[in-house]
Amino acid sequence: MAIHKEGYRILAVGFIILLAINIIAGIAWPDDTLLKWMILLISLSLYVFILFFFRLPTRHLQPDPGLIYAPADGKVVVIEETMENEYFKDQRLQISIFMSPFNMHSNRYPVSGSVKWVNYYPGRHIVAWHPKSSELNERSSIVIETENGTEILVRQIAGAVARRIKTYAKPGQKVTQGGELGFIKFGSRVDVFLPVGTEIEVPILQQVKANKNIIAKI
């Protein structure tokens, strides 16, 4: 189990801050052993949580052009036909995966192909499970064209807590199914927009894992 590069700075700064808090507590309350132990326990718990959040498990898969893998860990909260207004501007089949702060937050490419379009929108920060979060929140949209010409849009959406979306995709880039697309810090959501009629392989409310669960077939 590795630690994601997006967590290096936060872990370093967090360690310094928590260490300083405990040193100050030791100076301010030298005789209050219980209080110092409580502060130490809370500090350790918080730091372990941050370590856990930025975990990067190794997940290998054999790319398959007929399958669409989950791009994120989390719960499937939306499976519906909807109007996609940002790129396609037509009806698409939307699958949305909500990531809680306890999920692994590295996002992966659900298919192999060529990146046709990348767009970042600053937006708002309403709760990520809200239906309007796909249209109103801070987000980054990536369109991938597969070898057979099918275009798939993957949208990273920040939640009420998240304030930082990292997207590694660049227009014209060749990408491989299962490769790292980006990262969203803290609670968030990932939408996938597929052609209407795509065969869905997951039910609503199912827990899925990136590179592990197949969500649809092309």
Residue with tokens 């918080």: 46
Cβ count near 63 (within 10 Å): 13
Residues contacting 107, CB < 8 A, separation 6+: 71, 72, 154, 156, 180, 181, 182, 183, 184, 190, 210
Query: Is 77 in contact with 205 (CB distance < 8 Å)?
Result: yes
**DSSP single-letter state for residue 143:** E
Closest to 121 (Cα-Cα) out of 86, 96, 152, 89: 86
**Cα–Cα–Cα angle for 88, 78, 140, nearest 5°?**
50
Residue 119 CA, distance from chain mean position = 16
**DSSP single-letter state for residue 218:** -
Clarify whether 188 is annotated catalytic: yes
Catalytic residue, chosen from 43, 133, 134, 188, is 188
The count of C-alpha atoms lying within 13 angstroms of the C-alpha of 178, restricted to the half-sphere facing its C-beta, is 14
The catalytic site residues sit at 188
